[in-house]
Copies of this chain bind each other. A is one copy, B any other.
C-alpha cells in the first residue's frame, strides 16, 4: 500500500526546504508530512486533524496544521484547492498532473488526466507571468445526478432544486 521511498523523498525535500529557509525541523512537521502522504485524494484540515488525533503518538493542534501546511505548499509538496466550503488540500509530489470534474448538483469531485490538455495549458504563452502550477475545475452534472434528474422529471414536473 505505502511507498516508503516516496515518503523518504518528500521528507528529504522538506528537510532541505526547512534548512534553506531557517525553519526548525520539528517532529510535528514530519508527522504531518507523513500523514498527508498516506492520504489518497483530497482532504481538509479537519480530516487531517482527526486522522492525527487518532494516532496516539502524534496529536497536533489545528494551528500547527495551518502553519505547517503553508510551509508544505511553499515547499511544493502540497497543493491547495478551494471547492466547497473549506479549503481542500492534496499531496503534490510525484503525482501526475490531473484536472477536476466537479458536479454542481451533488458536489462530487472526480479527477481525470489528459495529456493534451496539460500540454496546452503548460505551454500557453503568458505575458510577464512565471507559471508555477495551475488548477482546472470543470463544472457540470455527473452521470448519477443526470439519471436521477431524468427520473424525477418523469414523476414530478415542478419542484426546484438548488
Contact = CB atoms under 8 A, between A and B. Distances in A.
Interface of A: 21-23, 70, 74, 82-83, 101, 103-104, 110, 112, 114, 116-117, 120-121, 124, 126-143, 146, 158, 160, 162
B139 A137 contact: no
Number of copies: 2
Given A101-B126, A124-B114, A140 B132 contact: yes
Contacts of A23: 160
6 contacts: A23-B160, A121-B138, A126-B140, A133-B140, A134-B139, A136-B137
Contacts of A128: 142-143
B126 A138 contact: yes
A138 B134 contact: yes
A101 B132 CA distance: 11
